[in-house]
Amino acid sequence: MVDYLLSQEFINGFTSYQVNGHGAFSNMSMAEQVSGRRKRVQIEVLLEQAIVNTILEGLKSEVGIDIVYWEQAIANHGRID
C-alpha cells in the first residue's frame, strides 16, 4: 500500500502508524485470538474530494482486499513553518 500511495502524483505525503484492530476478523492467528486484537497499519491521507474514488479504485485493483477506509471532511489544514 505504501508503494502504491507513494506512486500517486496527487498524494504529496501521508502518515502511517501501528494500531490494534478489535472485532470479528477472519484468519486471526492463535495469539491474536487470545489477545483479542489484530495488529494493523493505519494510514491517513489528505485528498481532494475529486480524486478519492480514483485512489479507492486503485487500492482495490493494485493493493487488494481487507482495506477498511473512511472519509472525513476537513474544514482546514496547513503547515506552520
Q: Report pLDDT for 23.
A: 77
Q: pLDDT digits over 3-56, tens only? A: 999 999 999 999 999 998 887 777 778 888 778 888 889 999 999 999 999 999
User: What is the value of pTM for the model shown?
Assistant: 0.79
**Contact predicate 8/27, CB 8 Å:** no
Q: Are 75 and 9 in contact (CB under 8 A)?
A: no
**Per-residue confidence (pLDDT) for residue 73, from 0 to 100:** 92
Name the residue ranges covered by the structural domains of the chain: 2-63
Confidence category of residue 61, pLDDT binned at 50, 70, 90: very high
Alpha helices in 1-81 (DSSP H): 2-6, 30-35, 52-58
pLDDT tens digits along 42-52 = 999 999 999 99
Give one word for 13, left, alpha or beta, with left for phi > 0 and alpha for psi -120 to 50. Answer: left
